[in-house]
Amino acid sequence: MTPEALLANWTEARSALGIAAPDEALCLELQRRYAEPQRRYHTMQHLGECLAWFEREKALAERPGEVALALWFHDAIYDVHAHDNEARSADWARNALRHAGANEDAAERIHALVMATRHDAVPEGHDAELLIDIDLSILGAEPARFAEYERQVHAEYAFVPDEVRRPRRRAILQRFLDRQAIYATPRMHALLEARARINLQKSIAAS
């Protein structure tokens, strides 16, 4: 997405929560976080792809502004050595939105949406399903983009020895493949499910 499209998405999402000021400084700070040098996959490319999917699918959201802001914050904090990135990102989102004057219920729902990106539980509610489908859209990407994604993830965790990293990666991908359905929303399921399963099977077989 272009800088103009990113700012438009950000401003519209905050407006949907009743926040009049766009706070371009926070928008730029989030973009700076996604450009940190330790990142290879969880970058502005990933955020842009997620927001592009959101723009296509936002008519399906019950509270589109909340889904958009959850996407902005879902990987805002990303330390490859930490295990609490989602919790810290969710806390940042909630605190920033409270400070901006968002409704307390909305801030809590966005916190819950960001926490859902841990992928360790079945998402609760339609907006959580849509958010997770968007976050996992890369699994159903065209083969060239999926191969790039694989390289990016391995580069991001290159500090982990191959004999540890590769089995862990296989196990993560297998858990997605073992699901009855990877995608919960009907349209994204129709568009991505079959290709995601092919991508995952090939990746597991090659690793």
Angle, vertex CA 115, rays to CA 104 and CA 175, nearest 5: 160
Per-residue pLDDT reduced to its tens digit, 74-112: 999 999 999 999 999 999 999 999 999 999 999 999 999
- Which residues of the chain carry a pLDDT beneath 50? none
Angle, vertex CA 125, rays to CA 120 and CA 78, nearest 5: 40
Mean predicted lDDT score pLDDT of the chain: 95
Instruction: Label residue 120 exposed, middle or buried (CB < 10 Å: 0-12, 13-18, 19+).
Output: exposed
- What is the helix (H) or strand (E) element at residue 128, kind and residue range? helix 126-135
Asked if 116 and 128 count as a contact pair (C-beta separation under 8 A), the reply is yes
Euclidean distance between CA atoms 14 and 106, whole angstroms: 11
The token duo for 95 is: 């605190």
| pLDDT at position 163 | 92
| pLDDT at position 122 | 77
Asked if 84 and 67 count as a contact pair (C-beta separation under 8 A), the reply is no
Q: How many CB atoms lie within 10 A of CB 44?
A: 16
The token duo for 44 is: 């502005």
Asked if 126 and 109 count as a contact pair (C-beta separation under 8 A), the reply is no
| pLDDT at position 21 | 84
| pLDDT at position 124 | 84
